[in-house]
Structure 1
Amino acid sequence: MEEQRADGPWRWHGPPWRRQEPRGSGLPWRSTLLFTAFVVAGTHFSARNQHGHRPSLDVLAYVLVVVASGALLWRQRHPVPVVFVTAVAAMVYLGAGYPYGPVFFTVAVGCFSALAAGRRTAAWTAVGMFWAGHVLVAHWLYRWLPPPGDSAASWGQELLISAWVVAIVAMAELVRVRREQWARERAERAQALRRRADEERLRIARELHDVLAHSISVINVQAGVGLALLDSDPEQARTALTTIKAASKEALGEVRQVLDSLRTPGDAPRAPAPGLDRLPELVEQAAGAGLTVTVEGEALRLAPGTDLAAFRIVQEALTNVVRHSGSRHARVHVDSAQGVLRLRVDDDGPATGAEAGGSGNGLAGMRERAAALGGTIEAGPRADGGFRVLAVLPLRTSTEGTLAHGEDR
């Protein structure tokens, strides 16, 4: 039997003759040989119980039995010819007057295989042909076919045979529907896994972008200050180098935290995700890059996901001010009311060589973060010449409490 994947659903494999052989075997030899042995032995046993009523088994009878069951060896590759071969062999066996036996199961297996392969017309035609042949033999051709002196079969018996045929077809159709349903479910699960993988990849990309863009912007500014003052003001250059060291250490720590999420599933993160409680750190880092930031307002203690998104949005907005705005002052306003959290980051502009709000992955990342929580981002120039980023996020509180942010001096 083909090995079932560990992450897949429980799968019905049917009776032994429906099971697939190990990969690389080409044809289902094992199951076909077992089924052929069962049919031959069952036919021999049935003939003993019908001795005196039906002709004895001869070479032709065993040939028909072996042909009908042996044809199932190709049921997976050529289901249409196989179902017709089994039906014709069974009809010839029946017309020759041989004892009733398990040879008729070969028609059922052939029908199952054809339906499972999606060849419904062939399966129904072959089974209908077999049933029609039985009706002709049992109610008309019996006069000229062995055994001599045979009488017509009762219609009650014909009704049982018809019910048996209908049951086979109905069960085969049910198996086909279930297989298609499982195939759809597997495809949907695979699609969901790919979607989650894409979402996780984008999340990690956003995290790395936000962490590195902010820290490298600070490092770039301080490196320029250090180079400019290296000869004229060594002490100030030393301060710039100290800021670079602190910013790079902070960036390495946050990158390590992001990469920790790629470890074995189930491992807990080594450090809590950043949130609005770390706004003072952003203010300090911005000050190191020559940007004065004023923080106003307060917010409830937020759920971790909302808290992280709020922190990253403010971080990216301040990074864009450092990189793209000529203003050296920015204002961050935090407000939570009416079930939403509002974050507003303003600078006085003007833009220097690029849009003040940035036009690359940063703004797109902020919008993705907000959209993931059901919120929105508005970014654009203000009427007075500055630039504003306004984030509105649904407020999902984790515990009661407040988080106050005072003005940084």
Structure 2
Amino acid sequence: MEEQHAPARSWRYGPPWRSAPEGDDAQPQRGRRWPWRSTVLLTAFVLIGTNFAEHSQPHRVPLNGYARVLLLVASVLLLWRHRYPVAVAFGTATATLVYLAAGFPYGPVFLTVAVGCFSAVVAGHRRAAWASVGVLWAAHALVALWLYRWLPPPGDRSAGLTQQIVIATWVLAIVALSELARVRREQWARERADRAQAARRRADEERLRIARELHDVLAHSISVINVQAGMGLALLDSDPEQARAALTTIKAASKEALGEVRQVLDTLRAPGAAPRAPAPGLDRLPELVDQAAAAGLTVEIEGEPPQLPPGADLAAFRIVQEALTNVVRHSGSRHARVLLAHDGAALRLRIDDDGPATGADAGGSGNGLAGMRERAAALGGTIEAGPRADGGFRVVAVLPSHIREDE
């Protein structure tokens, strides 16, 4: 059902057991916007925040040009976090580790690692993100518990186990938040896909409905016009009055067909707008009988049309209309019977003709019967159609009479 649009760029996710996408997803993601604003704001926050943090940590190495370069590297790397999430996750972790190993003050530099890990997890590279954060924590623990003796600042003391547990808790919190964001994004992506699929399904159903309406309207009217045109040609010289009557019937049938086709097409031009005329229902059976009579078919109606919801009423009318059209087109009988039986829960329609069939398509074997079955199935009903033992043809439809309009 589809208009041709350029495919939208979207995040792609691997199955939950895969740490990183393969194939196309392993290549750099191109065509995405650079996250300039967030990166600039984050860089400013890291630089300014670290300057303030320095004042409360006089025992650490004072900030210098080398420290600020490392802070800039860790922050600016985030510009590539959407295109190269794995490289950015490990790059921010490495720059931060070098910064801490050099003895510079603790501060918001850890935020760059958190954002890099978050971007990698959301992009589907879960194991890479976990590995980068895990390596940073393990290396920091090694520095804080053992290598501090040989690294600046001079006279530094070993960090306690409590400090390492706190850092590990923060690492787990970052990973947990990243995983939560990934799950939510996947859920939103599935919901968008479900909504798009539902919209496509509704569009398909609407096209099918319009196709059925056009088929039923045109098949019936054109059958009447065909019969009357043949009659008019046969009687043009011998009985001009009968020929005139046939032409009058053709004019009326074509006018009615044009009106119904216009009503169907109006729903295409203004989707959701109220129709200009009510949809036909079983209350128009007398008109259907008159049209059949104009085509030379006598129709006998047994039973009273019940009150039905609009959808069921339209389906019942179209089924009777299509069945009578098939009698006109495919049966040698000039007499048909329509039986309506309603038991409160379902309407039973039975249309009979006595045959014989005039061709291989007796009773209608193409779109007519398929359309009737689709109409009935859409309402939870059934259609049975086939030849009778005595040579005639029978159509039996059972339609539920209590149907909500939103179904």
Give the TM-score normalised by structure 2: 0.90
Give the Å deviation of 1:338: 5.5
After TM superposition, give the deviation of residue 48 of structure 1 in Å.
3.0
Deviation digits for residues 113-138 of structure 1 (CA, Å, limit 9, x no counterpart): 10011000100000100110111111
More deviation, 389-398/78-87: 389-398
Once residues 216 and 356 of structure 1 are traced to their aligned partners in structure 2, the CA distance between those partners, rounded to angstroms, is: 18
> How far apart, CA to CA, are the structure 2 residues paired with 1:265 and 1:368?
22
Correspondences of 1:171-210 after superposition (within 5 Å): 171-210=177-216
Structure 1 distance, partners of 2:401, 2:32, is 60
> Contact 2:379–2:403 (CA<8 Å) still a contact in 1?
no
> Partners in 1 of 2:344 and 2:291 — Cα distance?
32
Report the Cα offset of residue 351 of structure 1. 1.1
The alignment's TM-score, normalised by the length of structure 1, stands at 0.89
Q: Which residue in 1 is equivalent to 2:120?
A: 114
**Which of the numbers 77, 91, 96 marks the counterpart of 2:97?**
91
1:137-152 equivalence runs, <5 A: 137-152=143-158
Q: Is the 8 A contact 1:300 1:397 kept in 2?
A: no
Look up the SS of the partner of 1:261 in the other structure.
Answer: helix
Quickly say closer, same or farther: Cα 1:125–1:41, change in 2 above 3 A: same
What corresponds to 2:279 in structure 1?
Answer: 273
Deviation, structure 1 residue 230:
1.4
Unaligned 5+ segments in structure 1 are: 4-22, 399-409
Gaps of 5+ in 2: 1-8, 11-29
AA of the residue aligned to 1:40: L
Q: How many residues align?
A: 377
Superposed displacement of residue 397, structure 1? 7.6
Q: Distance in 1 between matches of 2:354 and 2:77?
A: 84
Identity %: 76
Hey, what's the Cα distance between the residues in 1 that align with 2:32 and 2:289? Answer: 68
Where do residues 2-401 of structure 1 align in structure 2 (5 Å cutoff)?
Answer: 26-50=33-57, 52-337=58-343, 339-396=345-402
Q: After superposition, what is the alpha-carbon deviation per residue over 1:75-97, rounded to whole angstroms, capped at 9, x for unaligned? A: 11111111000001111111111
Question: Displacement of 1:193 after TM fit?
Answer: 0.5
| Contact 1:340–1:393 (Cα < 8 Å) also in 2 | yes
| 1:301–1:397 Cα contact (<8 Å) kept | no
Is residue 27–residue 73 contact of structure 1 (8 Å, CA) maintained in 2?
yes
Question: Which ranges of 4 or more aligned residues in structure 1 deviate by more than 6 Å?
Answer: none
Instruction: Kindly indicate whether the alpha-carbon contact (under 8 Å) linking 1:299 and 1:341 is maintained by their aligned counterparts in 2.
Output: no
Q: Which residue of 1 aligns with 2:6?
A: none
Match for 1:121: what amino acid? R
Alignment partner of 2:337: what SS?
A: strand
Give the aligned residue type for 1:125.
A
* Greater Cα offset, 333-342 or 369-378: 333-342
The SS at the match of 1:298 is coil
| Structure 1 vs Structure 2 CA RMSD | 1.7
Contact 2:283–2:305 (8 Å) recurs in 1: no
| CA distance in structure 2 between the partners assigned to 1:338 and 1:266 by the alignment | 31
